[in-house]
Every structure is written in C-alpha cells, then in structure tokens.
Structure 1
Amino acid sequence: MAKAKTSITTENRSGSAADAAAKEQRTEMPLSDLHPFEGHPFKVLDDELMEQTVESIKQIGVVSPLIVRPDPEGGFEILSGHRRLHAAQLAGLETVPVIVKEMDDDAAIIFMVDSNLQRENILPSERAFSYKMKLEAMKHQGTRNDLETTSRQVVGKLEAADTIGEQTGESGRQVQRFIRLTNLIPEILDMVDEKKIAFNPAVELSYLKPSEQKEFLEAMDYAQASPSLSQAQRLKKLSQEGGCTLDAMCEVMNEIKKDELDHVTIKNEVLRKYFPKSYTPKQMQDTIIRLLEKWQRSKQRDMGR
C-alpha cells in the first residue's frame, strides 16, 4: 500500500462506540477482495504446517477471522492472517471470515508486526525487516505527536528499539543488530535463515558494501567454509579501510579457524556405514583408535626402512 495513504479522517469515523463496535464485527468476505500487506516481511511457506492448516480448514473452515483494513485504492489489506488466506485458497474456499479495522499506516504496521511476532518459529530475516518496519513506524508516530504537542520529545532510534526489545524479550541493542541484517544482499540473508552463516558473523558482514558482499560469496565458495565471528570482523575492517578485495577475502576465508585446530567432526551417518548396527558410539571410538594406532605403527616402520 502506497505511503501516500492517510489515516481515516474524523468524518469517516463513527460517532458512537456502538457504531465502531459494529464495524469490527465478524463478516464473510470474498478472497478476491483481499490483498497482502505491502512489504509484508513474514514468509508464507508451503511447508508441513501449511498442509496441516489446509486440511483443518477443509474440515472445519477458518476458525480465527483475518484482521483487515479498508484500502482507499480498493479492496482490503490484510493485517493478520496471510497464512490463513493462503491455506483457504489451497482449500478451495471462496470466502473467509474477517474483522475490519480502521487504522492509519503507522498503526497498521505496528499491529501487523506484533500479531505475526507471536509465532513460535521466526526467521532472522523476518525479525530483521519486521523490527525495521515497526521502528520506523514508531519514530514516525513520535514525530507526529511531537508536532501536535510540542512538549513531547521525538522518539529516537535507541529509545524505540528498547521499547521493541521489551515487547519481544530482547535488548534494544539486539533489536538494532537484527535490523542490521536488512543491509545484507538476499543471497547472504538466505544463508542466515538456512543457518549456513551464524547470526553474529552476519551482523559484521552487513557493514560490507553490496559489491563486496557479492565477492564475499565467491570467497566463501572458494574456501568451502562459512565465516567465523573473527573472520567477519576482519572483513568488516578491510571494508572500512578500503582493502576488501576478492583476493583479500579469499585469504581471510582460507585461514584455519581455532576451533578447527582443536576438533575433527565426522557425521554419525558417515561412520555408521563402516560399523555393525549393534555397535555403540564407545565401541566405534575404540575401533577407530585401534586402527589409527595400527596405521601409525605401520607408518613408523616404513620410515625406519
């Protein structure tokens, strides 16, 4: 929805609490009248949970109504219920229950973010963009209130981030760190969602220029490794100093990490191919040690010849 939209005017508002309540009653609405919230940061995935939702809707319908607001350009914008709408479409429904609320753009953004943050599993990219949207809406509300009541101080970035953090159980600084992820190019942000790149290194990588981030993907592919926090911090420093070239990034990414010096990890499914199913992890370890000792003695004999 275009930001040129304005809040509902006093003339459009009901003059009584009864009329306002009536406007928010549950009603059935054609799916064709509904459209997603512009810039909706939460992904609607065709996963196992979606399949379960579709089957539930086929059996008992949509139990919880969608929350929508009127769109001056036509139809209604969804504030809460994007997954339910998609499931209803897959289930073959023509209408869904909705509750219509009248909100201005800032209030709508805050409502949309808050209603979606109640979900259990939220991706880092979803938190990043939803926190950013809410932060900007809160700042805009603070600016408008400051214009209307000159005694009020404008809401600052950290103050608003602290407020968001209190509502989500995080510090204001952590909220700002999530927002930093919105500076990542889509390919790297997808890797963060897929846990191919850890959160803390990703925050440091967000300070790289987009062109440097693209070259970083080449360096990461060349090294066949994900960056540690210290490596990402060095890349950030290289970028700040103007020396973040592809060669420099490859050199950093090819370094052996400290944890790699201390640990060797072999996946269980790889080991299991070489042992009877009845073997316990202890038996597997003992067998590996015996074989390594035998190999070492063999190498020592070869060197003594």
Structure 2
Amino acid sequence: MSDEEATIAMVDSNLQRETILPSERAFVYSMRLEAMKRQGRRTDLTCAQVAHKSDGRKSRDILAEELGVSKDKMQRFIRLTFLSPELLSLVDEGRMKMLPAIEASYLSAGEQEHPLDAISAQEATPSHAQTLKMKRYSKEGALTAALVHSIMEEKPNQVEQFKIPKRSIARFFRPSATKDEIEGRIVRALELLEQAERRRSELGGVRWAT
C-alpha cells in the first residue's frame, strides 16, 4: 500500500468506531481528503477494491458521497481543524456549539486567545451571532481582546443565573452532593416556603366566630 492508501484505510477504520468526538471526526475527514488529493485518480478503496476515477469531480464531492454525509456537513467538520486546541476541547465537551465554533475558526491563532480568555472570565461561551461579529471585525483588522469581551458581555440567548456562595449553604448539604442535587433541594425548599406563605395568607383572611 502507498502512504495515501494506508492513510485512507486507517481513517476508514477509525470512522467505524461507535463514539467519535467532533475533533476526531474533523481530523479524520481532513486526513482522508488530503490523502485523496495526493492520491490523484484513485479515490476509493472500499468498493470491492475497485479503483474509481474521479471523472472530473472534486475530491471533496467524492469523499462526501463515500462518507454518506452532505458536502456542507463534511466541510463544517474540517473547518474545526483550524480551531485552537483549547477551543476545540470546548466543542468536544459540548460547551461550545458547532456553528459558533466554525465562525471562531476563521480568527487567527492570536485572535482565538481573546474569546478563550472571555469564556474563562465570563463562564459562558459565545453565541453564533457573537462569533459572526468577531469574524467580521477580524476581517477588518479591528478585533481586540477588549472588543471580544464587550461582544460577549451581552448574550441574549443565555439564561440569567443567580449565584450563591457555596460556604453560605454548605451546612445544608453533604460534602458529596452534586450540583444538580443542590439545585433540586433549593428549588424544593423554595416551593415549600411558597406553600407555607400561601397558607398563612389564606388563614389570615378567615374571620373566626366568637
């Protein structure tokens, strides 16, 4: 096998795994496409070992057909390979959505540090609209760290959060309590308080016979 054939065989084998992270899929697609471009006329090793000719079609069109995905979807995944390792990790963790990540991938390596710092400071990832704005400023050569922080300060699609210092409520929970357990118990306590206050209000309106 040539180097290109070996790469294609290895990539195809990896695609058979049940669970593939977005970053893994991105690099697998990218490696497969590059191997096909280098290989030239031989573009498929999966169909009964028959060498198919491209018939003038682009490698990316042939690859999308072989993978059973749309060309746009394949290109979106390949675009993730331009993200910094730190931002790509956020995509794998599910903290950063696909569309914002794709737009962020058009920022330079240095510019990608800006949203990463803002994510850490604000504990929130940018929306698609916000990364589109960052991309526009980047094209104009005007994207700065301060501007990215300003863009991310207002996030209309993010639910407002209310934070309570853990030390203030620690005595009400066991040390091993999870975040969901703590949240659930606080909500339940507030519901019980609301019910008690409603009963007191109702009793306050009753006139007792003498």
Which residue number corresponds to residue 290 of structure 1?
A: 194
Gaps of 5+ in 2: 44-52, 163-178, 202-210
Q: Residues 285 and 175 of structure 1: is their aligned pair in 2 closer, same or farther, counting only changes over 3 Å? A: farther
Which residue number corresponds to residue 219 of structure 1?
A: 118
Bigger proportion of residues as strand: 1
User: Hey, what's the Cα distance between the residues in 2 that align with 1:117 and 1:176?
Assistant: 16
Which residue number corresponds to residue 269 of structure 1?
A: 181
1:128 and 2:40 aligned:
no
CA contact under 8 A between 2:60 and 2:71: conserved in structure 1? yes
Shift of 1:115: 0.9
Shift of 1:272: 3.2
Cα deviations by residue, 1:55-80 (Å, 9 ceiling, x for unpaired): xxxxxxxxxxxxxxxxxxxxxxxxxx
User: Hey, what's the Cα distance between the residues in 2 that align with 1:178 and 1:126?
Assistant: 9
* TM-score with structure 1 setting the length: 0.50
1:252 partner letter: I
Gaps of 5+ in 1: 1-102, 146-150, 276-283, 298-305
User: Hey, what's the Cα distance between the residues in 2 that align with 1:253 and 1:107?
Assistant: 45
Which residue number corresponds to residue 254 of structure 1?
A: 153
**What are the equivalent positions in structure 2 for 1:88-103 lying under 5 Å apart?**
103=1
Which residue number corresponds to residue 142 of structure 2?
A: 243
Shift of 1:141: 2.0
Shift of 1:166: 2.8
Which residue number corresponds to residue 142 of structure 1?
A: 40
1:111 and 2:13 aligned:
no
1:132 partner letter: S
* TM-score with structure 2 setting the length: 0.71
Q: Residues 247 and 167 of structure 1: is their aligned pair in 2 closer, same or farther, counting only changes over 3 Å? A: same
Shift of 1:113: 0.6
Percent of aligned positions that are identical: 42
Runs of 4+ in 1 over 3 A off after TM superposition: 151-155, 272-275
Shift of 1:239: 0.9
Which residue number corresponds to residue 172 of structure 1?
A: 71
Match of 1:197 among 72, 96, 99: 96
Q: What's the secondary structure of 2:101's corresponding residue?
A: helix
Cα deviations by residue, 1:123-172 (Å, 9 ceiling, x for unpaired): 11111111111101112222689xxxxx975552xxx2333333333201
Which residue number corresponds to residue 181 of structure 1?
A: 80
User: Hey, what's the Cα distance between the residues in 2 that align with 1:153 and 1:178?
Assistant: 25
Shift of 1:270: 2.3
User: Hey, what's the Cα distance between the residues in 2 that align with 1:185 and 1:137?
Assistant: 23
User: Hey, what's the Cα distance between the residues in 2 that align with 1:168 and 1:152?
Assistant: 16
Shift of 1:285: 9.3
Shift of 1:222: 1.9
Residues paired across the two proteins, number: 173
CA contact under 8 A between 2:64 and 2:70: conserved in structure 1? yes
Q: What's the secondary structure of 2:111's corresponding residue?
A: helix
CA contact under 8 A between 2:54 and 2:62: conserved in structure 1? no
CA contact under 8 A between 1:143 and 1:154: conserved in structure 2? no
2:20 partner letter: I
